[in-house]
Amino acid sequence: MILRVGLTGGIGAGKSTAARLFAQLGAKVIDADGIVSRLYEKGAAGYDTILANYGSSVLDPSGEIDRKKLSAATLSSAEGASRLNALIHPLVLAEQKRLLDHIETTEPDLVVIVEATLLLESGGRARFDRIIVVDVPTEMQIERAVLRGMDRLEVERRLRRQMPREERLGQADYVISNAGTRSDLERIVETTYRSLERDLRAARH
């Protein structure tokens, strides 16, 4: 068997950094954004769905989906974001399940982590054995996202579309605070991973 773990956190929290650290420790990590990218490739199910619903205005000159154009067309309002999520999330969840089932068949006895921004918003609590939330104070989220080049108003708009911090923390089995140094994060991730390994061993018996 495998231990199915969902890893999430608000924008700017550092969940991708935590995911890389888990991978270095031996976890198998599935990146939900990577799944989306593959679904958006020409000829894939997501590409066909986007083209059917939004037309060629969201394509680049080579005919591939331009994610900036798609964001501009869909994410400027809560209704637009909900519509896009309703179209794409079922495809992402189906691919996640396929990958997890394949790993369980071919590589049992693993901690498998799915990293996804909207994991809890899409009902992830019911799909995973454990939930990890990477957490930082809200103002720190905004500052980090702005330092990465995002517009502050856009960051605040995205935060409003995500689950409130308190609600997200309330669904966590493990909380990784990323408000300190890189060394602090590495230490907390390793402690969490060793606990997940114990959870996996306990589940096998």
Compute mean pLDDT per 10 residues along the chain, 205 residues long, and list them.
95 94 97 93 93 93 92 77 88 94 94 94 92 95 89 85 90 96 97 97 87
CATH number at residue 115: 3.40.50.300
Residue 27: C-alpha distances to residues 84, 110, 182 (Å) = 31, 7, 19
Q: Say how far apart CA 74 and CA 78 lie, in whole Å.
A: 9
Contact predicate 163/119, CB 8 Å: no
Under 8 Å CB-to-CB from 158, ≥6 apart: which residues?
11, 75
pLDDT attached to residue 154: 82
Burial of 44 (0-12, 13-18, 19+ CB in 10 A): middle
Sequence letter at residue 101: D
Alpha-helix runs per DSSP H in 41-151: 45-54, 67-74, 78-106, 138-147
Burial of 89 (0-12, 13-18, 19+ CB in 10 A): middle
pTM of the model: 0.89
Structure tokens, 128 = 């995973």
Q: Say how far apart CA 195 and CA 89 lie, in whole Å.
A: 30
Over residues 42-87, the pLDDT tens digits come to: 999 999 999 999 999 999 999 999 988 998 888 767 788 788 888 9
pLDDT attached to residue 73: 82
Q: Say how far apart CA 115 and CA 31 lie, in whole Å.
A: 5
> The tokens 């790993």 sit on which residue?
103
Neighbours of 21 (CB within 10 A): 21
**Residue 118 sits in which domain range?**
2-204
Looking at the structure of the chain, the number of domains it has is 1
Structure tokens, 1 = 């068997």
pLDDT attached to residue 108: 86
Q: Say how far apart CA 15 and CA 11 lie, in whole Å.
A: 9
Residue 186: C-alpha distances to residues 3, 74, 194, 203 (Å) = 21, 36, 12, 26
